[in-house]
Structure 1
């Protein structure tokens, strides 16, 4: 039996313009050029004037207060031929938003592509070594299959039987497991040492056996890796000394020998197509105790709507007869013009939101930006900034997650300024970053033969006035990627 009922639902839908703005907002400065180039390639109605107007005057805004982050959507225009041509014919003043940002350090060299060294990947290195060895065609195909099956870190994590099946089905090579094993041993003799291993233990043993095995230190290192690897990784040095009948001095030499080995031989030769480079999105300068905030000028591209596309509208407006084909052509032009205007509006909105958010962060952490002292960092969460500027928490999060600010004391990720509050015995609220710094200092000064356990670190913090639980200390230690006391132990 069919039933009909009437329901009301409250739904929130994002317009294409809002989605475009959100995506642009989370793009860091270093990737913005690429995103703009993509838009220029896809939309011929969009033009970039930055190549001809690079020398605009600099203007700075220490306390700039941009508009709210309410993205103004264009209303539906109705039929295809019902539009106001004047909306597209007006000249875009690119200097209105394209020159109000920091030009310092933005010379021609900064706009060039980042050079990188050309080097071979470890796959190419292995292939070149294989090409130098004369062998039957069948063995060559087996060895090639093994090289192609290695992971990026140089390990072979596929079973031998799977390689045998791949050879049979993909290359029509009928090979036995023993033949594949033999070719794997050949690959393992290649450089870099440790390549082609099927486990960490095998990787370390391959490297050790390439050394002088008559050296007593190397021989004992092989013994440790072959039979006592679990005790070694867990740093049960007392057990190792007792089992191997070694003194602390001898064991220290063995441990140092093992630590010289490379657990991921493939990574050391992997090609890096681009160098890691941090381009700050903001600059903060201290001018006699007054902080001045500027936005990197790369965030202000000089974009405008194409004049040739505007002229197409003029031609259409003057046409006395508008046939179907002409209407379709103009509808295409209109779509591209709308897209170009939306993109320019999204770029403007991005700049305003970045400045507004960073300005609020700068004033919230004013003492830190003046001194650079971590102890002056105030507890601050996303909601604090969102409430201050009247934006959503998600908007602040998108700005903070991938943007950097350059100060006189260094370059910082905006996300690093956000921290939880810890209450001291006196009732004062301080940032948990202050607690982490104290933990890091005490762990750095500890006796590595008797490292400080979490319980001891908790006692030290309580003596300093920070009344926090041991599990909180463990959480902060893990966030700083510091292992437990037992794994920090050294001989």
Structure 2
């Protein structure tokens, strides 16, 4: 008997390619978006940037748009956020800079001037810096080979944390060197710049730096003694025990400790070749009378459009070519609509954040209110996952600085008045209490919790300890100073 056929109906949610593209564009930063669009325009002849052609371009609806010389806000955004106060509108300031200087993609309007871009040399790292100094030293080929093996074994902080054994293993066996010879070369490297590089541990690093100071440096001998036998007590800032252990006056121990703290415990870190990354705000906030206004950055919406010339060729092309061009045009229009949707979403989320955190803009971090993704999602009528994508690597420029959207989101802690205070506000209060404390009698975590409780913030000691660690504030023992 043959099995019978069965018919089943089910519902399934599928993301269209257009929706997938919109979601992908939404989570990109400005720099990543610029790179993505450059790659897309290389494969789609109907798309082009407005700054690449003097000809009019077409938008997603097929309307002509003349390319402007300067960057400008989208029309609907600019009309809403016009103000007579030029200085209070940061987006206008950014626009004026963009018209006279470079843009995100590195192109600028130089007029008759030569468009020479500065060609910066590759940043010098720790290895290159040390090798350059080795060339100035009088080293034998054998010693130079050992020195290069040591340099290759350094970590980013300039330490040989794994000891001399890996260096010995990296050298050819025919050299016949031992660890004593390697250590002798290592000590010569410690005399190079930065001082203390090629050390085995923190104690070795600090001693190497102290030994390079002038012999008449005040409290130098006492500082060396602290590093040799009392580094653990120094980490706890236990000056009385240090004074007793070294049989010295506590005032002298305090001065010697200050000398040690002036040293660099990570000598190789300051030669990190990683370039500094700068962020470009996606939106700006400024005060307009008694209200806070929000506008998109001029660079947040790339000036991308349809190429009029190629669009006009569709009617004249053969059937096969016309089908190809119509397909590319449809893809281009989807992309332009996705970009407009991205800009609108960023603006809506920024406005929702500003409405909720206006007290932060007025009074600072201590006035930050609790905010979660769900609240913004309900305000703008979107899913929480969409809000999460928008708040990642998107930045808001405010009179108090430039912050990632995520900075304005934090959980709440209940207060005596029945309300709640954000974790960011509590951390700001905690920082202020520590800054104002008596350094000779610093506040413990329990005392800090009591101070916050007196201000109506119900927070436990362990919560204070967690926030203090997040702020990288040392414990009370480590913050103690002898006046």
String of CA shifts for 1:236-291, please: whole Å, max 9, x gaps.
222211101112210111111101111111122334534x4343221223222233
User: What TM-score do you get using the length of structure 2 for normalisation?
Assistant: 0.79
Q: How has the CA–CA distance of structure 1 residues 173 and 430 changed in structure 2, closer, same or farther, with 3 Å as cutoff?
A: same
1:245-394 to 2 correspondences below 5 Å: 245-271=247-273, 273-274=275-276, 276-307=277-308, 309-310=310-311, 313-316=314-317, 318-319=318-319, 337=329, 339-369=331-361, 371-374=362-365, 376-394=367-385
1:422 aligns with 2:423: no
Question: How many Å apart are 1:297 and its aligned residue?
Answer: 1.0
Question: How many Å apart are 1:408 and its aligned residue?
Answer: 3.8
Indicate which of 436, 453, 456 corresponds to 2:427.
436
Question: In structure 1, how many angstroms separate the alpha carbons of the residues matched to 2:289 and 2:162?
Answer: 64
Question: How many Å apart are 1:174 and its aligned residue?
Answer: 5.4
String of CA shifts for 1:135-160, please: whole Å, max 9, x gaps.
33333223222222222222223442
Higher mean alpha-carbon deviation, 371-380 vs 481-490, is at 371-380
User: Are the aligned partners of 1:89 and 1:310 in contact in 2 as well (CA < 8 Å)?
Assistant: no
User: Are the aligned partners of 1:116 and 1:273 in contact in 2 as well (CA < 8 Å)?
Assistant: no
Question: How many Å apart are 1:49 and its aligned residue?
Answer: 0.4
User: What number of residue pairs does the alignment pair up?
Assistant: 444
Aligned partner of 2:151 in structure 1 is: 147
1:5-154 to 2 correspondences below 5 Å: 14-29=15-30, 32-41=33-42, 43-50=44-51, 90=62, 98-99=74-75, 100=77, 102-107=91-96, 108-112=99-103, 120-154=124-158
String of CA shifts for 1:174-220, please: whole Å, max 9, x gaps.
54434333332232221110111121111111111111346461111
Question: In structure 1, how many angstroms separate the alpha carbons of the residues matched to 2:369 and 2:281?
Answer: 22
Question: In structure 2, how many angstroms separate the alpha carbons of the residues matched to 1:256 and 1:286?
Answer: 45
Q: How has the CA–CA distance of structure 1 residues 22 and 426 changed in structure 2, closer, same or farther, with 3 Å as cutoff?
A: same
String of CA shifts for 1:119-145, please: whole Å, max 9, x gaps.
633322211111123433333223222
String of CA shifts for 1:345-389, please: whole Å, max 9, x gaps.
3322210110111122222334444x2444543322111101111
1:212-223 to 2 correspondences below 5 Å: 212-213=214-215, 215=217, 217-223=219-225
Indicate which of 140, 161, 166 corresponds to 2:165.
161
String of CA shifts for 1:12-60, please: whole Å, max 9, x gaps.
6655544443343233335543443344445544210035679xxxxxx
What is the root-mean-square deviation of aligned Cα atoms in Å?
3.6
Aligned partner of 2:209 in structure 1 is: 207
Higher mean alpha-carbon deviation, 444-453 vs 155-164, is at 155-164
Question: Is there any run of 5+ residues in structure 2 with no aligned partner, and where?
Answer: 79-90, 107-116
> Equivalent residue of 1:402, what SS?
coil
Q: How has the CA–CA distance of structure 1 residues 290 and 214 changed in structure 2, closer, same or farther, with 3 Å as cutoff?
A: closer
User: Are the aligned partners of 1:97 and 1:348 in contact in 2 as well (CA < 8 Å)?
Assistant: no
Question: In structure 1, how many angstroms separate the alpha carbons of the residues matched to 2:120 and 2:255?
Answer: 36
Higher mean alpha-carbon deviation, 43-52 vs 357-366, is at 43-52
User: Are the aligned partners of 2:60 and 2:336 in contact in 1 as well (CA < 8 Å)?
Assistant: no
User: Are the aligned partners of 2:439 and 2:479 in contact in 1 as well (CA < 8 Å)?
Assistant: yes
Q: How has the CA–CA distance of structure 1 residues 312 and 188 changed in structure 2, closer, same or farther, with 3 Å as cutoff?
A: farther
User: Are the aligned partners of 1:50 and 1:301 in contact in 2 as well (CA < 8 Å)?
Assistant: no
Higher mean alpha-carbon deviation, 304-313 vs 288-297, is at 304-313
Q: RCO higher in 1 or 2 (8 Å CA, sep ≥ 6)?
A: 1
Question: Is there any run of 5+ residues in structure 1 with no aligned partner, and where?
Answer: 55-86
Question: How many Å apart are 1:451 and its aligned residue?
Answer: 0.8
> Equivalent residue of 1:182, what SS?
helix
User: What TM-score do you get using the length of structure 1 for normalisation?
Assistant: 0.78
User: Are the aligned partners of 1:164 and 1:174 in contact in 2 as well (CA < 8 Å)?
Assistant: no
Question: In structure 2, how many angstroms separate the alpha carbons of the residues matched to 1:158 and 1:44?
Answer: 56
> Equivalent residue of 2:421, what SS?
strand
> Equivalent residue of 2:197, what SS?
coil
